[in-house]
Amino acid sequence: MLQPNHRAWVEINLDAITHNVCTLKQFLQAGTEFMAVVKADAYGHGAVAVAKAAIAGGASWLGVATIEEGIELRQQGITVPILVLGATTTAEEVYALLEYRLQPTVSDWGEAQLCERVAHHLGLCLPVHVKIDTGMSRLGMPWQRGAAFLEAVQKCSALEVVGVYSHLATADELDSEFVQVQNDRFRQSVAGCDIPYRHLCNTAGLLLAPSLHYNLVRVGLGIYGYVPAPHFRSLVQLHPAMTVKARISHIKILPPGTGVSYGHRFCTTRETRVGVVTIGYADGVNRGLSNQVQFSYQDKLVSQIGTITMDQCMVDLTDLPQVRVGDILTVMADATDWATKLHTIPWEILCGFKHRLPRLICDGNKTF
Ligand SMILES: Cc1ncc(COP(=O)(O)O)c(C=O)c1O
């Protein structure tokens, strides 16, 4: 593998993305399409590269959170349909939706009218997805009024309702009872309407039951190589696509009883060979992980010691005398471990690596 000339970086294995999409698609019946959710710069992985790898794996739709995210994909030549999952609030945004062939989510009458007014003014037709709130209590028309809202939007002459969807609130919980409640509400809302795409599932929903799939699923976390909760692990084998790496910049030998880093929250108990690693919390290595995580060097674990600082942190290299200044450590290869330690979720860990870390695309064992 080529050794990149950076202090620290994020490696993205696009083969893993393609593999994960192919693997997850095997859960779907023929005719059900796959939307790769690449919002938030593809959960920190790099939206354009991930979108292309997901399309190579069989994704026929992309999902983004914002219009800017959609524009970036279009400007890089991506042509598949793109759904904007977030809200549309200004006329300028509707112009952009039309110009870049992005499909908005319409959650209420105000949003529908805004889209209708601008599209009508330009003499154009805007494809939209109507969102129904079946229990997430975020975007979407409350399900009791869902069918009526859908009918009303269908009557807008400058809008074409190409999709109707909802979002599951509890699909990754052990108890999936409320998923059925949401599915029943969704089914009732869309009963009898003639709309090309109906979609409800995130990664967890996809893994839960084919009855939730309808004819399109919106998958984020799974394509990056993670299941949404431990109880899904036995169902599918996915490959994490992101690895975070950094270098050893200095090595020093400290006598027993020496405090390390701010607050001296680590104190050596033996003569310790301490390595300074070129990554810190300003790169996305959460300070809350101080003294709690292990990095790795060629498959050997290395304990992080002392408070993680803004740009650097320290490791104990005493048992790895072969490690030299300039050597590379793997800082993060499993977001689940960090998420557990930080009482959060893998989604937040993946999105947390800052853009001062370059994203290096690697293809299997090659980095280029
Ligand atoms: C509306 C919507 N659909 C789908 C997804 C993808 O979810 P996941 O990453 O759990 O697959 C998200 C992610 O937050 C979302 O907001």
From residue 368, give the alpha-carbon distance in Å to each of 4, 38, 49, 171, 268: 8, 22, 13, 38, 39
Using the predicted structure, report yes or no on whether residue 100 has a pLDDT greater than 70: yes
Of all atoms in ligand 1, which is nearest to the CA of residue 172?
A: 10
Question: What does the alpha-carbon distance between residue 102 and residue 69 come to, in Å, rounded to a whole number?
Answer: 10
Of all atoms in ligand 1, which is nearest to the CA of residue 39?
A: 13
From 252, 262, 300, 366, active-site residue: 262
What local confidence, expressed as pLDDT, does residue 359 receive?
96
Question: What does the alpha-carbon distance between residue 268 and residue 357 come to, in Å, rounded to a whole number?
Answer: 30
pTM of the model: 0.96
Q: How many CB atoms are located within 10 Å of the residue 314 CB?
A: 24
Using the predicted structure, report yes or no on whether residue 145 has a pLDDT greater than 70: yes
Query: Are 246 and 323 contacting, i.e. CB atoms less than 8 angstroms apart?
Result: no
Q: How far is the CA of 211 from the centre of ligand 1 (A)?
A: 18
Q: Active site includes 43? A: no
What local confidence, expressed as pLDDT, does residue 3 receive?
58
Using the predicted structure, report yes or no on whether residue 27 has a pLDDT greater than 90: yes
Using the predicted structure, report yes or no on whether residue 4 has a pLDDT greater than 80: no
Q: How far is the CA of 301 from the centre of ligand 1 (A)?
A: 33
Amino acid present at 146: G
What local confidence, expressed as pLDDT, does residue 244 receive?
98
Q: How far is the CA of 44 from the centre of ligand 1 (A)?
A: 14
From 39, 52, 131, 245, active-site residue: 39
Question: In 3-state terms, what secondary structure has residue 189?
Answer: helix
Mean pLDDT score across all residues of the chain: 96
Question: What does the alpha-carbon distance between residue 294 and residue 300 come to, in Å, rounded to a whole number?
Answer: 10
Q: How far is the CA of 165 from the centre of ligand 1 (A)?
A: 12
Torsion of CA 69, 74, 79, 80, to 10 degrees: 10
What DSSP state is assigned to residue 34?
A: E
Amino acid present at 87: A
Model pLDDT for residues 305-361, shown as the tens digit of each residue: 999 999 999 999 999 999 999 999 999 999 999 999 999 999 999 999 999 999 999
Q: Which residue ranges form the domains of the chain, and what is each CATH number?
A: 14-225 (3.20.20.10), 242-333 (2.40.37.10)
Using the predicted structure, report yes or no on whether residue 364 has a pLDDT greater than 90: no
Model pLDDT for residues 263-312, shown as the tens digit of each residue: 999 999 999 999 999 999 999 999 999 999 999 999 999 999 999 999 99
Using the Cα atoms of residue 280, residue 284, residue 285 and residue 289 in order, give the sign of their dihedral: positive
Q: How far is the CA of 287 from the centre of ligand 1 (A)?
A: 27
Short-list 252, 303, 251, 315, CA closest to 279: 315
Q: Active site includes 262? A: yes
Calculate mean pLDDT across residues 175-182.
96
Minimum CA distance residue for ligand 1 atom 13: 220
Model pLDDT for residues 113-140, shown as the tens digit of each residue: 999 999 999 999 999 999 999 999 999 9
Read off the tokens for 259: 């405090």
Q: Read out DSSP for 300-354?
A: EEEEEES---SS-EEEE-TT-TT--TT-EEEEES-HHHHHHHTTS-HHHHHHTS-
Bridge pairing between strands 272-277 and 242-254:
antiparallel
What local confidence, expressed as pLDDT, does residue 89 receive?
97
What local confidence, expressed as pLDDT, does residue 366 receive?
41
Q: How many residues does the chain have?
A: 368
pLDDT band with cut points at 50, 70 and 90 for residue 367: very low
Of all atoms in ligand 1, which is nearest to the CA of residue 35?
A: 4
Instruction: Give residues (CB < 6 A) around ligand 1.
Output: 37, 85, 167, 202-203, 218-222, 228
Minimum CA distance residue for ligand 1 atom 6: 220
Using the predicted structure, report yes or no on whether residue 58 has a pLDDT greater than 60: yes
User: Which of 85, 133, 350 for mutating ligand 1's site (highest number of atoms within 8 Å of CB)?
Assistant: 85
Using the predicted structure, report yes or no on whether residue 224 has a pLDDT greater than 60: yes
